[in-house]
Amino acid sequence: MSIDALRDQIPDYAKDIRLNLGTLASESALSDQQKWGAFLASALATGNSAVINAVIEETKDKLSAEATNAARAAAAIMAMNNVYYRATHLMSSDEYQKMPAKLRMNVIGNPGVEKVDFELWSLAVSAINGCGMCLDAHEQVVRKGGLTAEQVQTAIRIAAAVNAAAAVLRAEAA
C-alpha cells in the first residue's frame, strides 16, 4: 500500500485529510529525504499499522537504508523523550527540569543522516506527541541548521495530516 492507497481508505467525511496527504506528498519546501523521513517518523509515531505500512511502502524507494533507520530512530527516541520532557515541563515543581534525564539518547548525537534532517523528524514526532519543550528544542536546532520557518511548518503539516489519517482509520476500525 502507498500514500495513494492510504488516501483511498479515508472516507468522504475526512476528504480534507485525503487532500492534504496528496498535497504534502508533492510538497517541495523540503528535500525528498526530509519530506519522506518526516512522513515515516510521523507514521511510526501514530502506531497505526495501516498508516505505517502505507508510508513504508511509499518510502522504500525514496529513502536510503540509513535515512529509513534514522527516521525509525527519531520516532523511537522521541517516544521516550516526549513523555519525559513533557512530564517535567508540566509538573509544578521546576526541580525536575534541573535534574539530568539519565536516559540514553546516543542516537541524537549520531543519527546516521544529516543532523538537521534527524532533528526535523524529531520535531514532527514531538508535534504528534504534544511535547512543547521538545518542539522548542528541535525547532531551534533546525533553524540554526539553516531551515526556514516554512520548512518547519511543512514538517508539522506532514505530522498533522499523517496523525489525522491514523485517527480516522482508528475510528473507522472501531
Residue by residue, DSSP assigns 25-71 as: HT--SS-HHHHHHHHHHHHHHHT-HHHHHHHHHHHTTTS-HHHHHHH
pLDDT given for residue 110 in this prediction: 87
CB 26 within 8 A of CB 158: no
What letters, b where the CB count within 10 A reaches 16 and e where it falls short, cover 23-32? ebbebebbee
The residue behind cell 505530522 is: 159
Query: 89 and 132 in contact (C-beta within 8 Å)?
Result: yes
Higher pLDDT, 89 or 152: 152
Q: Among 18, 13, 35, 17, which Cα is nearest to 26's?
A: 35
Mean pLDDT of the chain: 95
- Cα-based distances in Å from 132 to 48, 57, 123, 138: 23, 31, 10, 10
- Confidence check: pLDDT of 155 > 70: yes
Q: CA 78, CA 110: separation in Å to the nearest integer?
A: 15
C-alpha cell at 172: 473507522
- In eight-state DSSP terms, residue 96 is G
Q: What does the pLDDT read at residue 60?
A: 96
- Chain segment 119-148, per-residue pLDDT in tens: 999 999 999 999 999 999 999 999 999 999
Q: Which amino acid is at 79?
A: A
CA distance 136 to 125: 13
Point out the residues that are catalytic: 131, 134
What was the pLDDT predicted at 106? 82
pLDDT at position 1 over 80: no
Domains of the chain and CATH, by start: 3-173 (1.20.1290.10)
pLDDT of residue 101: 80
In angstroms, how far apart are the furthest CA atoms of the chain? 49
Model confidence pLDDT, tens digit, residues 74-123: 999 999 999 999 999 999 998 988 888 887 888 888 898 999 999 999 99
Average pLDDT over residues 33-40: 98
